[in-house]
Amino acid sequence: MIYPGKRSLRCLIVLSALLFFSHALAWGQSTLWKGQLNGKTLYLMGSIHVLQASHYPLPVAMESAFAESDLIVFEIDQREMENAASKQLVVTKGLYQGGETLQKNLTKSTFQALKDHLAALKLPIAIFQPMKPAYCALVITMMEFERQGFEAQYGLDHYFADKALRHNKKIAALESAEFQINLLFDLAKKDQEKFLKQTLLEVDTFAKESDRMSQAWERGESEKLHEIMTTSFQEFPDLYEKLIVTRNKTWQPHIEQLVDQHRTVLVVVGAGHLVGPHSVLKLLEKRGYTFSQL
């Protein structure tokens, strides 16, 4: 049986960002914004949750933002996501009980697409039959990332979380691990199937799209990033609303509250949450923040 470990757990938000990479970065302007309001400083950093060792060192601006900040904010606390309870919750929510199978819960076309994908990898469909569609999507995604040499230990959030602990920085989280797990696994049956269909489409175009996406991210081209993300979600607008828009609206007042309590704050979230008209950045601009991209 294949179970998603702590790296697969990170896919809960990796997939919402929909950013894939295939080569070392040539850093220019980055996905980092500096905002100011009433004498307070807020850094917003677009995170990539899985990278390669070759993507380091990071731009000086990112390291400087970390050094200047007295609070580092992440989507979740990495330690909570990696504990035994969180892993067990994924397994409990991700597997069928009582003889139910993946095939019984998918349309013929989606199941055939899954079979075709697994056949190309020489993997038996029987391994995936106990999995719910969202669980299956996570496993498929992580297998593809691993085939391309990407690992969660090199993701920006993982990197800065470890660094914050070493430097005794204060850490805060916008969501709990349980919330993120439930966000995906509590999707309605039809939405879980949509999520799996989207994943299969993304995996099939992984190699083709990776260079275009990585260049947009490394250059800090927010409009292009938004275009890529919305194109990927265009057949699944309800998922975009749930995974991106609604969460951005929830995060905005929480971030403002944290900034009120500290001098300088660095917020590290998936890059997909910082681009487009519904982004966290745009929501905060409406509240009076003035941002400059670094």
% of the chain beyond a pLDDT of 70: 82
CB within 8 Å of 152: residues ≥ 6 apart: 6, 7, 10, 49, 50, 158
Residues in the chain: 294
Which tens digit of pLDDT belongs to each residue from 204-242?
Answer: 666 556 556 666 656 667 677 777 767 767 777 887 888
| CA–CA separation, 76 and 99 (whole Å) | 34
Give me the pLDDT at residue 2, please. 36
| CA–CA separation, 205 and 194 (whole Å) | 17
Tell me the pTM: 0.82
Report which residue type is found at 98. G
| CA–CA separation, 37 and 285 (whole Å) | 10
Which tens digit of pLDDT belongs to each residue from 166-208?
Answer: 999 999 999 998 998 898 888 889 889 988 998 898 776 665 5
Torsion sign over Cα 53, 58, 62, 63: positive
Beta-strand ranges (E) seen in 48-178 are: 71-74, 170-173
Which tens digit of pLDDT belongs to each residue from 264-280?
Answer: 999 999 888 998 899 99
Q: Which two tokens stand for residue 91?
A: 């397994």
Q: Which two tokens stand for residue 236?
A: 């699944």
Give me the pLDDT at residue 154, please. 80
Beta-strand ranges (E) seen in the chain are: 32-37, 40-47, 71-74, 170-173, 264-270, 290-293
Three-state DSSP class for residue 148: coil
Residue whose structure tokens are 């929501």: 283
The residues that bridge with 283 in the sheet, in sequence order, are none
More confident of the two residues 291 and 210: 291
Maximum distance among all Cα pairs of the chain, rounded to whole angstroms: 60
Q: Write down the mean pLDDT value for the chain.
A: 83
More confident of the two residues 130 and 237: 130
Half-sphere exposure of 276 (CA within 13 A, CB side): 18
